[in-house]
Structures are given as C-alpha cells and as structure tokens.
Amino acid sequence: MAFFRLAVFASLAAQLCMTPASAQVSHPSPDLTPAEAYAEGCGGCHTRERDVLNAIPRKAEAERRAWIERFMLSHPCEHDVLKPKIVEYLIAKTRR
C-alpha cells in the first residue's frame, strides 16, 4: 500500500507543480497600447528607454522604420506578437 500512496502523492505533487508553471506563460493582450507593448516586449531588459531611442538613427520615417525592423529581426523580444506595435511606438517616439 505504501507504494500506492506514494504514487498518488507523486501525481498530486506533479499537478501542483504544473499548474503555476503553465499559468506563468503570459499571453499579452492584443489591446495593449504601443507604450505597454514596448514595456512588455523590451522593458524587461531595457530600463533606460532613452538609450534605445538614441540608438535609432535620426532619419526620415521610412528609414527609421527599416532600421528598426531590421534590428528587431536579430534582437530579442519577449513577445513576438507585439513587434508591430513596438515598431509603431519607436517610430512615434523618435519623431523629431
């Protein structure tokens, strides 16, 4: 019987461990504002937004967009689905 109880305990423990782990996978809401999308996708690593904005060349909008999109192809983003919104955010923030 001891084995049976251990097996029950093990499966309960496994379920307890599984639940919070799967709940942690966050699915960002599609209604995030561009600023929230940036915070979700980039803000975890980048605490100084100014540094990110300063790295973007001071050029016309189409060129900035091309630069940002090319840069983001090889750069981490915590949520790929947010990329289009993040691009819009960075374009707007570097309009000067």
* Residues lying near ligand HEC in the complex (CB under 6 A): 41-42, 44-46, 51-52, 55, 71-72, 75-78, 86
Q: Which residue is nearest to ligand HEC (CB)?
A: 42
Helices 83-93 and 34-41 cross at an angle (nearest 10°) of 110
CB of 22 to ligand HEC, least distance (A): 22
**Of 71 and 91, which CB lies nearer to ligand HEC in the complex structure?**
71
CB of 34 to ligand HEC, least distance (A): 12
**Of 32 and 86, which CB lies nearer to ligand HEC in the complex structure?**
86
**Of 22 and 74, which CB lies nearer to ligand HEC in the complex structure?**
74
**Of 18 and 45, which CB lies nearer to ligand HEC in the complex structure?**
45
Burial 54-82 (b: 16+ CB within 10 A, else e): eebeeeeeeebbebbeeebeeeebebeeb
**DSSP sequence for 18-69:** HHHHHHHS----TT--HHHHHHHHTTTT-S-HHHHHHHS-S--HHHHHHHHH
